[in-house]
Structure formats: structure tokens, C-alpha cells
Structure 1
């Protein structure tokens, strides 16, 4: 990954290579400014020339991909890849728990009071906190990266799945339904909705075909609600049969179901249930896409948009594996993409703690009280620490996010998992907590395998 560079007055310069950053640090010309993402600050330079940089975003319901690229005559060169993991579902769960607590207080502990939601007003463009969190987090990191590099333009995947266009494929004048992008939107939507497996036998890691649940010869339409994915054998055997008859009579299907550990009744019920269910993640992305677009436009930078179909087309045309960060790098018009085989920095939104000082069991009864003070021996939950243990069962070097305890025995969440019972004497702070956890994912080679991560 490229290393971010700041001048003597903490203004962004052009990112440099890891080798150059290492030389600058060894010669004493630079100091480490930030660990995640890794940033150095020069001691003897003010100002400098920069090149056009473009930040590309692939918004998602659970994870948003970010890619910082340099524009050149021979295409775009990837400088950094990021995956921003949201906590929208945790926020929703916390709000539901808070509502349950308040409901119980109204009914059990106090006189009856009617809920107050009827007399509250909301702004015109109000979004639920779990959805607003996605926009706020993406904008926070866009602004943070803009302070570390001179970003001159933005690319956003505005339409992940346009469900209105998918439901009515006869609408004309839509770019992604014409030319070489025809069908990419529908296929990608079906892959997400049906879990990238055969809807009938559950086969995975096999070529899947688009199949009509109700055959066209029986009056079925081309609407996306009537489409599913199946392997070649299931598609051939089903032919024009109704789904219930196919599941009940096909011997070949029963053999394949037994091989994959499913029952015919369970698969039939899943097909019927999934057919009526919209894609929840697609709904979350569609609900926030325009709000994010307007927030990006408010920054004053030029914003270009693309569709999910175009992103997939670019990725497959260039032979690039599928990850959230690489999807972001493939957003929008793209002729060539260079230097994309690099580690990805995963940024997980963890929050800054909770005001709730009491833990509850599954029945709602108190099971423990949290300590009042935030810091213990100079450490605070959420700090990134490096612990070097030279003796005992936990011997080794452990780097990750720390959870403090009053006893001074901490837990460290590393890339390999949680390490419990590390004394504060072995810990050194490498970055103060800011509501996020960080770890590096290894680079992906041309075969799609994980290579060695670059330290």
C-alpha cells in the first residue's frame, strides 16, 4: 500500500511507496504521524507537487469499499484499498432494546403513559439511525482521507440494484440495459438474493443459470420476482414443471439434495419464501444512495456515478477478483487498472462505548455493573496496542484493539482472534482509540488466493 505523506505544516503531499517511506524514517527526515492508515510527516519540507487523485466508493449495507487511485494516461493506478465495516445492525438492535426497556418502565414500574411517537416530528429527509450511520461513517472517512491526500474527484456506485427498473424490464432509455451491460444488473441481484447457490439442490461452486420459477409456457413473466438461479441439472430436469411437482417427483433432485444435506420439503419452503422476500441489503443501499450522493456533492468535489452492472462488467473484463475494495476500484468508466494486488486495510466501526453501566441477561435482569472510570493504567478500551509477552502461556507479540479491565489484565482483539489475560505491563499504545478497529487483509493474486500481507 502507498504511504500517506504530510509536509512540515501537516498539509497533504503525494503518497509515496513503502520503500521510500522506510528510507525517510531511517534517515531521520520523517516521523510517524499515524499508524492506521500509515502516515508519515516530513521534517524538512513545506509544500510540493501533487497529482490528480480519485476516491472511489462502493456503498454497501454491511461493508463499503473505498479505493484511492491515481489517474494517468495508461489507466488508473491503485494506491490504497479500504473496507469500511458498518455497525448499522448493532445500532438497530440497541435501539430496539432501549425501546423495550422504556416500554417495561411504562407498564410495570410507573403509571401508564402512552407512547410518545405520535406527537414527534421528523425532518423531511430523515433516515433511521442505523441507515444514517452508514452515511456519516463514509463521509467521516472521506474527509479523513482528504486530509491525508489531495483528492480531486469522487466516484460513487449510485445504483446497486434499481428494483423499480428490475421489476419492469421493458422501461427503455436506461444505460445499463443496453449494449454490453445488458443483463448484468439482473444476474448480480439474483446472485445476492439467492445466496450464490442453486435454489433447488443447494449446490455451490458450480456454474449457475437464470431460471424461471413459473415457466414462460405456463404464463410466467420475466420480472425479477419470477427469476431464480439453478444448476444445469436442475434447470434441465425442471423444464416447464411447477416447482412443487418438480421437487416431489424428481429422483435426480433428491439424490443431489441428499448429497448436500438438504430435504425436499425444506428447499421447497425456502424457494417459496425467498421468492416473496425482497433483498434487505439492497433496500438499505437504495434508501441511502441519494442521501450519500447529496452529501458527497456538498463537499464541492466533482462526483461521477456508475451502476452495479457496470462495476461487475469492468471487474470481469479486467479479470479482477471480487472484494468490496476491488469493486470500488472498478466503479465508473475504466479502461485499465494497475497495481491492484495489494493488502486491504479493514476499518471496523466499533463505536466509542456505551452509557449503560449495567449488563443484563437474556431475561432482562442485572448480571453485572461496569466500572466507572474509562482509563486503567493509561489505557482505554478501543486503543490499538502492541503487547510483547516473553514468558508464560501467552508468549509472543499481540497487536490489536484492547479491552481494559480494572484488574490490569486486558483482552486484545487481534486478527487471529481474542487473546485474554494480557497484563498492562506488556502493552504499548500505538494509536489511541477513535471508534474504529483496524487490521490488514492479505493481498490477492491473479488466482484469487490470499498472498502474503505486506507489513
Structure 2
């Protein structure tokens, strides 16, 4: 990958090769501006010949593909992995909050002036992904001169995905139109027959969630089946029961969480980047196949950038993951026994400490000849995971803690993890 370059005034110049960047740093003609994406800043005046740089962005609900190119040369490519755990974290926080209100805790007066939401409000899980998408678009645009944005967006019709023959007024009726409620629609769809034992006569029928709501399932009729009371027991709900076996034998339930997000993201992109060149997946796929590129997010971004012929394409690409550094908990959910002070006044548990002796969570360190990321602290030790999310431990030892004295800091990453990979 090329190295991004800033001049003495902090303005972007054309990226240079890694060899040239090493020579400039060795001769003290440049200094490291930031590590990821690797950027240097010149310490002397130089010519500023610039070309138009094109940035391709392949938007998505889980991964974002990005590429930077000029003419027929690809300078940089990578993928950004977005967080998918925000909703589950909010559900956990909601459980803790409700349990506190039922306990004998400090009194807080009720508030009634925080019930109104702004017009452009979105759920936190959607807003987070949109914010991070815009963050990386703006970051890449600030690293190159004369940036021209090319963004691929998606437009989905969820009703037509469920029923391809839908048209006209059927959009207002929905699947359960004409039925008393969703429960009776599920019974009629399944011919009033238990989907586990296949019996229908003299049986009391219930509806069952295929994917449990605790695991992210919804109340949509596509996630409900008809079962009888003989099969709908607590024992069959356990792992290895009839319901788990039924789910393995049948197709997975189709989820329609991503299409609404992509529709919302498309509208926000039109407002935030009115000058960007917009494209769609139906145009990207045939171009990528014609250029004989594999199906990856960064290859899609290269095609989206509008390139016609590739003469330079780096083998390395950068995988960027977001890391949750702070748990934001005032205290543990369950107070431990033996404490002399009230739980609200206790110091934060050491496992929630964001830094210790000059090291911070998510810092990249080297230990035992391996590189990894700090994921937690304990007494004078830390937990370190490698790129494959496996713990780095002492040779021939079973415990996971590594002493602080044996670690060497490589770089500070803040909330993001950066992994350089080679294209297959």
C-alpha cells in the first residue's frame, strides 16, 4: 500500500511508496503523522504537483469496503468492520437499570422533559453505523488531494422481497390482512397442523418463535410456527430439544434487518454528500467480473471508484475493527459480599480499568515474539489477544495473564484495531 503524505502546512499531497517514506524518515525529512492509515508529514518545502484522487466506498450494514486510486493505480484498500453488539449492550443496561429501581437504592426524582425525540432520531444501533460510515469517508477524503467520492448505495423493497407478486394496494394490507391477528394467520398458513409432530386433530395449538427473542428473533410471522401443547414444553425448548432439531432440518429464517438500514443510509448519504457520484450494486457486479476481481468488499470499492484498467494494485489490505474500550458501568450489577462501603461508593473493579502503568486498552504490544492487543487488566498483568482473537499466553502455561513487565508497546490504537492482511 502507498503511504499518505502531508506537507508542512498539513495539506495532503500525492501518496508515495513505502520505500520513499522510509528514506524520508531516515533522513529526518519527514515525521510520522499517524500509523493507521500510515501517514507522514514533510519537514521541508517541496513541489506540490497534485492529481485527482478517486475514493470508492462500498457501503454495508456489517462491512464497509474502501479504496483510494488515481488514474490506473490503486493506492490503498481496506475493509471496516462495524459494531453489531450495540443493541445487546443496551438490552443488558436496561435489565440492570430496572433491577436497580426495584432494589432499595438512592432516590432520584423522576424526569419528564426527556421524552421527546428529534425529528431525525434513529435507534442507537443504526445511528452508530451511519456515524462510523461517515467518519471513514471523511477520514479518507482528508488524506488525499482533490478527492472525488464514488459511493455505492442500496435500494430495497422489503415487501417485494417477502412477496414478489405484491402490487398496488397490497402494500397497505400486509401479510396478515383479513385475519384477527398474527396468531391466526400462522395457524392458517400451517393448515392448523403442528409443525413438529404433524398432528392436527384434537390438539390445542400455540405459536412458537423459531429464533428466540433473546437471541435476536422478532415477532414477524416469518419467525413463528404452529406447535401443539404436547410439543410446546419447557424440555423441548432446551438445547437438543425438538425445536433445535427442527431448526437444523429446515432453512434458516430470513431476516430483514439490513434492507431498512441500507434505505436509511442511502437517504442520509444524499444529504451529507450531495456532490458524490452514486452507483448501485447492479452496476458494480458486472464490472468486477469483467475485471476478473474476487468478490470482496475492497475489490467492490475499487470498481466503484470508476477505474477502467488496473496497472498497480497492492497485495496488502487493511482490516479495521472497532473496539469497545469503556464499559461505562458505575458499579457491578451484583454487589460482592464482604464490602465495607456501599456499592455505589466502591472503586471500579480492576477488570474495568481502561489503563494501567502507561498501557491502555486496545494498545498493540509485542510479547514472546508475537503481536497482540490488550483486552483487559488484572493485578500487574494484562490479557492479550492476537489477530485471530486467541489469547497469547506464557509457553506451557494455562493461565491467560501476561506480566506488564514483559510487554513492549508498538502503537496506541484508541478505539480501533488495524490488521494488515495479504490478498488471497
Alignment equivalent of 1:330, drawn from 303, 325, 329: 303
In structure 1, which of residues 82, 93, 98 is the aligned counterpart of residue 93 of structure 2?
98
Q: How does 1:9-408 map to 2 (within 5 A)?
A: 9-45=9-45, 48-70=48-70, 72=71, 76-87=72-83, 89-109=84-104, 120-159=115-154, 161-163=156-158, 266=246, 270-271=250-251, 274=253, 277-297=254-274, 302-331=275-304, 333-359=306-332, 370-371=349-350, 374-385=354-365, 387=366, 389=367, 395-396=368-369, 398-408=370-380
The structural deviation recorded for 1:102 is: 2.3
Q: What TM-score, normalized to structure 1?
A: 0.64
Quick one: distance in 1 between partners of 2:148 and 2:5?
19
Is the counterpart of residue 427 in structure 1 residue 407 in structure 2? Answer: yes
Larger Rg: 2
2:417 paired residue number: 437
Decide whether the 8 Å contact of 1:13 with 1:47 is kept in 2: no
For residue 387 of structure 2, the aligned residue among 407, 415, 434 is 415
C-alpha distance in structure 1 between counterparts of 2:359 and 2:92, whole Å: 29
Secondary structure in 1 matching 2:377: coil
Query: CA–CA distance in 2 between the matches of 1:148 and 1:51?
Result: 13
TM-score (normalised: structure 2): 0.68
The secondary structure found in structure 1 opposite 2:250 is helix
Q: CA RMSD in A?
A: 3.5
More helix, by proportion: 1
For 1:303 and 1:15, the matched residues in 2 are separated by: 22
Deviations 1:113-157 (A, max 9, x none): 9x9899722222211111111111122222222332225211111
Residues 159 and 166 in structure 2, CA contact (< 8 A), matched pair in contact too: no
Paired residues of 2:141 and 2:147 also in contact (CA < 8 A): no
Give unpaired runs (5+ residues) of structure 2. 168-244, 338-346, 393-399
Displacement of 1:353 in angstroms is 1.2
Q: Which runs of 5+ in 1 are unaligned?
A: 172-264, 390-394, 445-455
Could you tell me how far 1:103 is from its partner in structure 2? 2.4
Question: Displacement of 1:340 after TM fit?
Answer: 3.3
CA positional deviation for 1:79: 1.0
CA shift at 1:369, angstroms? 5.4
- In 2, distance between residues paired with 1:424 and 1:370? 18
Structure 2 match to 1:230: none
Distance in 1 of aligned mates of 2:88 and 2:22? 44
Name the CA shift for 1:169/1:6 in 2 (closer, same or farther; >3 Å).
farther
C-alpha distance in 2 between matches for 1:432 and 1:99: 32
Instruction: Determine the C-alpha separation between the residues in 2 that align with 1:305 and 1:269.
Output: 42
